[in-house]
Amino acid sequence: MRTYSLLFAALVALPLSVCDDFDAVAALASYGVNASNYGNGGQTAILTGQNVSQIVARSDALGCVYSCASLALLFGSVAYPNSTTYNLEEAGYWSAQQSEVEPYCVYQPSSSTDVAIAILLSRLTECPFAIKSGGHAAFANASNIEGGITINLAKLNVIELSADKTYASIGPGNTWYDVYSDLEDYNLTTIGGRVAAIGVGGLTLGGGISFFSGNYGWACDNVYNYEVVTADGLIIDVNYEGSYSDLYYALRGGGNNFGIVTRFDLYTYSQGLMWGGSRVYYINESTPILNAIVEFSNNAPSDPNAALIVAYAYAEGMYLIAVDLEYDLPEANPTIFEDFETIPHITDTTAVQSLSEITLEFNESNPGGYRETYWTATYQVDLDLLQYMVSEYQNQTNTIITAADLEPSFVLQIITTDQLSHMTKYGGNALGLTEAEGPLILLNLAYWWSDPADDEAVLQVCQNIVDNTEAYAKTKGLANEYLYMNYASQYQDVVPSYNTTNHAKLVSIAEKYDPAGVFQRLQPGYFKLNSAPAGSTIS
């Protein structure tokens, strides 16, 4: 075993932690890291050049000085502000808002043990942290942290088929393109994202809608095993059969509240070429398109190979409708999409191609680097409600239409009864959805723009669309409280929306595995068990 000795500066009479009597020093010692000197006086090697008496008042920043310096000493893979590596890390987020957040340091662990040591050091020093997989969560602090340690899982990038090929071990450092293009050599796939650059980590922990969800369910319903680093720095295998089936349930939709997943073992499925692409329609075809969506929601059980995404957008001075159609088999224009074929369209990229090729096409239409916001709502399927939603989207968006580089997308998907039926597999997931409630409309507002001066107006428009469509749906008895984590904004309180029973279960599972609330307190970003990331109102 490696042994390391950390040389901590003299800090007399500091409480080792605010509300945490866990013995992080002993836990670190079990990994061969000697942190026994922390807080007890001793050497100042790590703080060479710094005036300890100035920073003796304990603060997060001070803890991070120690944590980052210790990680640098142990592993080397630490980047500080203004270095080339740090700037590359900052550029590695999809949204500008996440790139603007400035961590005290960025650390890239190479193994689950390295992750465990980082968490234990954070606990010891009270340095807050954030975890980054693909970096596609849109709002600030979701996978980056001001003044703390950002742990980028990029180097945990294994992709390995099990001997019997029934599952693939996938590190959270992979994007879905990496996963799909590798497994295509074996004519296999896993259930994951639809855009090349999305990360395995965030998508799978929040739910994860795939082109194949009609046949197999969401990504979280197709995980055989999670390798997890717990708040106590233990590395455990979490699955339905084993000792941690409660934690397995919690990870199926519970986001970053329960542990850091250092490996996802995902069930594999046979998959050859498929059919798919996008068709663009003029806005005057909106009513036939909405009718076709309603038809699709009714007919979906007749053909679970089909997947549909309808995105209203605005380009070159007009609203347009982009319809993504996918079919799991290499068959062009399957009957279930007949309506979308007969409605006149302007362009059409549908073709028989591989899954990885389709994810590259959709990656092109989702460029990074802009200011971005995602919002969500869930409703029962109803034509009149859909008409109202589209009208509300346009009216609201018209009020900000001159914002620089504005690209306002209003995206409709159906959570089909087939998708819902798979949510009960392996003891069920945490999302609180049942087949009896379906089919459902899943709304995703996805807006990008470029001027920070427009932030508040854009966010307010999205909030208005969600609030007003929800109020209308309520009057018609069509509202559903479910908020999809992967599409929710920082003002939406996701976990409680899963229903009161599931929420209470998640809270008690978190108390069992993380009694000190490490993943609530020291990892403040993203959707916590009891609160929206940025409160409920736009300031």
Ligand X SMILES: *[C@@H]1O[C@H](CO)[C@@H](O)[C@H](O)[C@H]1NC(C)=O
- Looking at 354-459, which runs of residues are DSSP E strands? 371-380, 407-415, 440-449
d(CA 264, CA 266): 6
Instruction: Select the span of 67-75, 124-132, 377-385, 460-468 touching ligand FAD (CB under 6 A).
Output: 124-132
Work out whether 135 is an interface residue with ligand FAD (CB under 6 A): yes
Total binding residues for ligand FAD by CB under 6 A?
33
Cβ at position 29, least distance to ligand X in Å = 7
| Integer Cα distance of 514 and 433 in angstroms | 26
Cis before residue 496, ω within 30 degrees of 0?
no
Interface map 144-183 toward ligand FAD (x if CB under 6 A): ---------x------------------x-----------
CB 451 within 8 A of CB 495: no
| Interacting partner of 131 out of ligand FAD, ligand X, none (Cβ under 5 to 8 A depending on kind) | ligand FAD
Residue that is written with structure tokens 């009057």 in the block: 475
Complex with ligand FAD: residue 230 or 286, whichever CB lies closer:
230
Stretch that binds ligand FAD, among 84-92, 202-210, 350-358, 451-459 (CB under 6 A): 202-210
Give the separation between CA 397 and CA 231, rounded to whole angstroms.
43
> In the beta sheet, which residues pair with residue 469?
none
Tokens 């008895």 belong to residue: 477
Partner from ligand FAD, ligand X, none binding residue 533, C-beta < 5-8 Å depending on class: ligand X
Contacts of 85 (CB under 8 A, 6+ apart): 79, 106
If the CB atoms of residues 39 and 128 are measured against ligand FAD, the closer one turns out to be 128
Tell me which stretch binds ligand FAD (CB under 6 A): 21-29, 188-196, 230-238, 426-434: 188-196
Site for ligand FAD in 361-380 (CB under 6 A): 366
- Contact 505/430 with Cβ under 8 angstroms? yes
Strands 347-348 and 274-282: antiparallel
Find the binder of ligand FAD among 201, 233, 254, 304 (CB under 6 A): 201
CB atoms within 10 A of CB 346: 12
Q: Which residues bind ligand X (CB under 6 A)?
A: 5, 34, 36-37, 42, 51, 53-54, 81-82, 139-141, 146, 177, 186-187, 196-197, 272, 282, 284, 360, 363, 367-368, 388, 391-392, 395, 428, 432, 434, 490, 499-502, 533-534
Query: Contact at 8 Å (CB) between 528 and 495?
Result: yes
Q: How far is the CB of 95 from ligand FAD (least distance, A)?
A: 8
- For the chain, give percent helix, strand, coil, nearest 5: 40, 20, 40
Q: Which does 146 bind (CB under 5 to 8 A by kind): ligand FAD, ligand X, none?
A: ligand X
For residues 461 and 491, the answer to whether their CB atoms sit within 8 Å is no
- The least distance separating ligand X from the CB of residue 318, rounded to whole angstroms, comes to 7
222 touches ligand FAD (CB under 6 A): no
Which residues within the stretch 246-275 sit at the binding site for ligand FAD (CB under 6 A)?
Answer: 256, 260-261
